[in-house]
Amino acid sequence: RKEVEQDPGPFNVPEGATVAFNCTYSNSASQSFFWYRQDCRKEPKLLMSVYSSGNEDGRFTAQLNRASQYISLLIRDSKLSDSATYLCVVAGGGADGLTFGKGTHLIIQP
């Protein structure tokens, strides 16, 4: 079983729509959770951290369910510039490096 699992997509979504991604993680001792964004042939960049209480940054909302070991990302009013791969990331639980999922590929269509 992979440590972090995501649906690779692609998700083809019309501009302006709301889209949600999920991921699950296997290490119950994980302590930190993130969503990273990666554009084609570029390095990953931190989109937002994820907290148990849920957190919002503009059009982006992230939530964490520790009991189910489940992380979500919601994008509202999607823009063409949101097209990218979204990587679910966990850290801690005995390891300091980041553990990445394979990523979910999002394509926003005009």
Nearer to other proteins (CB atom), residue 61 or residue 104: 104
Tally Cβ neighbours within 10 Å of residue 108: 20
Please report how close the Cβ of residue 45 comes to other proteins at its closest, in angstroms.
7
CB of 62 to other proteins, least distance (A): 15
CA distance 11 to 104: 8
Q: State how far the Cα of 95 lies from the Cα of 80, in Å rounded to an integer.
A: 36
Contacts of 43 (CB under 8 A, 6+ apart): none
For other proteins, the closer CB: 10 or 16: 10
For other proteins, the binding residues (CB under 8 A) are 4, 8, 41-46, 87, 89, 95-103
As measured in angstroms, the least distance from the Cβ of 35 to other proteins is 12
Toward other proteins, which CB reaches closer, 75 or 89? 89
Q: Is 80 helix (H, G, I), strand (E, B) or coil?
A: helix
